[in-house]
Amino acid sequence: MTAGQATGEVKYRRLTLADRSFIEAGLACSPPLSMRKIAAELGVAPSTVSREIKTRQQLSYKAQPHYHAAAAHYAAVADRIRPRVVKLEVFGELRNEVVKRLNDRLSPEQVSAELRKEFPDDPEMHVSHETIYQALYVQGRGALRHELTVEKALRSGRAVRKPRSKLPAATNRPWLEGARLTDRPAEAADRAIPGHWEGDLVIGSRNSALISLVERRSRYTLVGRLVDNRLALTVAEVLQQMAVRVPDALFSTLTWDQGPEMSEHAQFTVATDCKVFFCDPHSPWQRPTNENTNGLIRDFYPKGTDFNTVSDEDLYEMERLLNRRPRKVLGWNKPREVLFEDITGVALAT
């Protein structure tokens, strides 16, 4: 019994001369061993054996296909010396799956991880994120980006991080009393417990804005629209409307920056029983999940967008795509999957 049989795992690997000799012997048995039986003995996928026989068999003097291990092995070695074939240029189905996910605004690394998750036993449907980057941007292989329906395949970020501000703390903001980050319960800092959110405004032109809320454990995102981002009462009202979309048990705390738009946060707390806490001034790293989420939203709607002209359907579609995006920090699970499991205790079928 092979190591693959003992663990129940089947992993892709290159066939050795010994493997090919076993295939030749198995086919010569009377009756011949099945491809699944040969694959089980070798600890490889049946498709590996099937592809090997189909590709490497030769015609004998009786004009009958015959698999010869030595000839097949030397041919395989010679193939590896030849110029490397780019998988995205050869496998049309793989290319279509990559393009589809890039159009859903997944990053190349997320695309690579999701394909391995959805096609675990099919190596031809596996591709590294570096290969996708090459196909998108390297000269001679950049045609892939012309097949996309989105304007760009990658989310651009800053070349360097902004340094932490050394400005003194802001004062004369009475709504901060008892609601500073130091007053927030310790469990809110631990992502092991769901129900703790971070929020902020995504500012557009003509006094338009979006409210973005993201749950710290699952990275699940809610998006709401503001007609006038200067009105604190309006922010509290929209937050209440957004909160009802999630069970009460999953809305315990909300962390925000010190903007005046949240000066009426007490109204939101009375209506939802969700306490609001404020970061230190000029300290966006104290709500890092929301900062990252706002960067993702800017990928859909860059600075200068008038959110009054964006339809509710388009906002909903953006929210849907964000919540079905596989995340590396979640072990390549999706925010909606993690949140659903927190609510029900049952994993969501993908």
pLDDT of residue 198: 93
pLDDT of residue 11: 57
pLDDT of residue 270: 86
pLDDT of residue 7: 45
Identity (one letter) of the amino acid at 143?
A
pLDDT of residue 282: 82
pLDDT of residue 341: 82
Q: Could you tell me the mean pLDDT of each successive run of 10 residues in the chain, 350 residues long?
A: 48 80 88 89 88 78 72 77 65 87 88 92 88 70 62 47 48 71 84 90 89 94 81 80 87 86 83 87 87 93 92 94 94 91 59
pLDDT of residue 221: 95
pLDDT of residue 278: 87
- Cα 292 to Cα 17, 200, 298, 350: the distances in Å are 50, 11, 10, 24
Residues contacting 290, CB < 8 A, separation 6+: 198, 199, 200, 212, 213, 214, 255
* pTM for the whole structure: 0.61
pLDDT of residue 295: 93
pLDDT of residue 327: 93
pLDDT of residue 116: 92
